[in-house]
Amino acid sequence: MQITAKDTSLLNWTGNSLAVGFFEDATELTGDLAALNEKLSGIVQELITDEEFKGKSGTTAIARVGSQNGIRKLILVGLGKQEDLKLDSYRRAGAAIARAAKQDSSLGVSLPLEGAANEIAQALTEGIQLALHQDNRFKSEPEDKAPKLESIELLGLAGQDAAISKGEIMVSGVILARELVNAPANEVTPISMAATAQELASEYGLELTILEQADCENFEQGMGAYLGVGQASDIPPKFIHMIYKPEGTAKRKLAIVGKSLTFDCGGLNLKVGGSGIETMKMDMGGGAATLGAAKAIAQLKPDVEVHFICAATENMISGKAMHPGDILKASNGKTIEVNNTDAEGRLTLADALVYTETLEVDAIVDLATLTGACVVALGNDISGLWSTDEALAAELKAAAENAGEKFWQMPLEDKYFEGLKSQIADMKNTGPRPGGSITAALFLKQFIKETPWAHLDIAGPVWSDKPSGINNSGGTGFPVRTLVNWVFQ
């Protein structure tokens, strides 16, 4: 599939499907749209009337028009209210158009353009390609028909080839994250995650270090928290550290740390009926997005040094499993009473954050499918954001707005740490039920000394049960686009 930008008028474009955009409650035909309606013998107005098309965001109306007019199908797409227009409105419109035209060979897209042309072209590219992505790797006979689209022309956006290319690169990172999350735990393991990192490093010239178990035991005072989580698994842990370095002097040095539990059964606090244990292949969604961001960043080549950290392991049960009540010692010397073996992600991140801070970066962002409490608080579409640094939080929120990914800043209420205090160790790994996502963030905060740090709890948005917007069912690739945008700020 090839996406190009053209200056062709919608009146002169020929091909299979032509998509035209409308703002909500602004479906009166004027200018080129009125001329198109006349050219098509009134079909545009008929479609608006018959389908009661109002232009609401992401909605479509479709009609066959006959090839004698140079096109075979007309697609109307809504952009929502003009006063509410955002860059993501174009991304979602692109997704809706792509789904409506996926069985056609060629598509022309003509939308009202408000804003930077390069950003609109990139957003449309992302929406189109992500909506058309299908992950049929594990089906012997895929049920869904493969898209037939070969040519897509973005009308009125001539000269934006670089923006389209940037969108395609961004999509490549999102799709990598999606497919890592979608794959079952017998396919994506700590070993295969390390192999994926090796492939990225080889293809894009990244530096890569894989710390084996012995290396982790010897780091500082030993990564006892991370290694404790994985000690019941037959698959060895793999601590992945990948580095992108620009050709010239880096203007700053950043780190992205992704929770990478390739499967989480809960340990001896076993997840039981109704717990969603069968979905716990997604518990490495943070690590998947970290590798997806690495793939995009390595191709886009910012003048920023970026470190990508994935402490990959499994949380399993066996005679070697950590027990509820065990005390683990993290690599900074802090001791942790494990009162719930199913609160394991924060244990792996504890040692990962200590390691990352020794790299002397300017800021650290960790991302994790960390708590169900965050899903209860914010639902499936919004990620929680905690930060020790308001400037960093502002950067991430701006990056997310541009990406069309939703975050809500939550409080680091230090008083709540009282619930994590242990009588026999420095802290417990879980606190009381109220404010569970906040106490999880406060736990992680104990493993950061001075570096500006933000924690993203992505438990809700990393997975979609049904197609919505630019996402299909399954892994969403959240928040790859936000991370890439943040690095480029």
Catalytic residues: 271, 346
Residue 362, both tokens = 């300017």
Kindly give, in sequence order, each residue whose CB lies less than 8 Å from that of residue 48, ignoring residues fewer than 6 positions away. Answer: 27, 29, 61, 76
Residue 459, both tokens = 């438990």
d(CA 374, CA 330): 25
Angle between helices 345-357 and 436-445 (to 10 degrees): 30
- Taking alpha carbons only, the member of 374, 371, 302, 365 closest to residue 342 is 371
Q: Where are the alpha helices (DSSP H) in 301-337?
A: none
Which three-class secondary structure state does DSSP give residue 376?
Answer: helix
In angstroms, the first-to-last Cα distance of the chain is 30
* 387 backbone dihedrals φ, ψ, rounded to 5°: -155, 150
d(CA 234, CA 316): 9
The pairing of beta strand 71-78 with beta strand 15-22 = parallel
